[in-house]
Structure 1
């Protein structure tokens, strides 16, 4: 329980440091992913350009493009999945810590309120009940918001997965049609 204001301040500072470190870790992972993706895309582009320059006629050029398009799409989808995984892991770490700190703080505040209410003067039962009701309502509101945020994140992740799948299917259908038109 917080017995001194310094303890409360130290707890807040520790949480701020955790939040900053977790965020910086996520940003660092994204930066490394972006550098690797950029290097890979550049190398693939140069290789693909050399391959396309070797085409003898339009049908062979289209066939080569078709062969080169699928791996590029796969790499793009893999990059997207990695970005989502990094963001999701970072969000989960922070959410878990927030839940832990909120529960810990609620317990400490409830303990302090109980102590204060025990020494409340006679006849203050209505005020005591109002304070307890306010704490209960605040906790229920937090739980409701937390549940809604989790559901929104799950819906967003499911939407991204569905869009990824649809994109890959559309690309696989479009490539053969383009090859037929060119031939």
Structure 2
């Protein structure tokens, strides 16, 4: 019976460590989402109790209309903030996974490069062109990976920029709608008075 070579054991340990790191990142992100949702639920329950009390104190339809319009902006801002928090959590987990993947790819490239170098040392005379072709192929694959990685990072930056722009546009639209509803409520109240 032969012993397992140390480099195989090292690769298995490395793969196991990478799997544990991925699981840790995913679980950490899940934990953050659960914590965020618990905080939102707790805050919402308190707000609902407070708003129920305020609704009970309303005396006429104009007050009700003004009250409802006053809730629109804060609620939309809370929804936008919640969405931003969720996006930040998912983005953070994604960035961690990207870093882990980059480390694994770099390690894999290093191992392939070492294997090619070892092959070159033991290759028969006349196989230099085949070894050069393998080294060239590895360099091409590495360059392609780097290009795809840069493109993915740029796409993520564009997506984040678009989310920020959409958030700002939504906030402005909500503010405009809230002001218009308040103006309409005041106008209706004046006409009825």
Is TM > 0.5 for Structure 1 vs Structure 2? yes
CA distance in structure 2 between the partners assigned to 1:35 and 1:154 by the alignment = 29
1:48 corresponds to 2:51: yes
Give the alignment partner of residue 165 of structure 1, picking from 165, 168, 176: 168
**Match of 2:148?**
145
Whether 2:10 is the aligned partner of 1:7: answer yes
User: 1:3: how far off?
Assistant: 4.8
Structure-1 separation of matches of 2:35 and 2:159: 24
1 CA distance for matches of 2:152 and 2:162? 15
Asked if 1:130 is matched to 2:133, the reply is: yes
- Separation in 2, partners of 1:168, 1:58: 27
Aligned-residue offset at 1:150: 0.7
Partners in 2 of 1:41 and 1:152 — Cα distance? 35
From 17, 21, 32, the counterpart of 2:20: 17
Corresponding residue for residue 101 of structure 2: 98
SS at match of 2:58: coil
Would you say the 8 A contact 1:26–1:90 is kept in 2?
yes
Give TM-score scaled by structure 1 length: 0.91
| Worse-superposed segment, 79-88 or 24-33 | 79-88
Q: Which one has the largest radius of gyration? A: 2
Q: How far 1:50 moved relative to its partner?
A: 2.2
String of CA shifts for 1:18-74, please: whole Å, max 9, x gaps: 000110010111011112112222321232232123222222112222323322222
**Would the aligned equivalents of 2:73 and 2:175 in 1 still touch at CA under 8 Å?**
yes
Give ranges in structure 2 of 5+ residues lacking alignment: 189-193
Q: CA RMSD in A?
A: 1.7
Q: How many residue pairs end up in the alignment? A: 182
Whether contact under 8 Å (1:52, 1:65) holds in the other structure is no
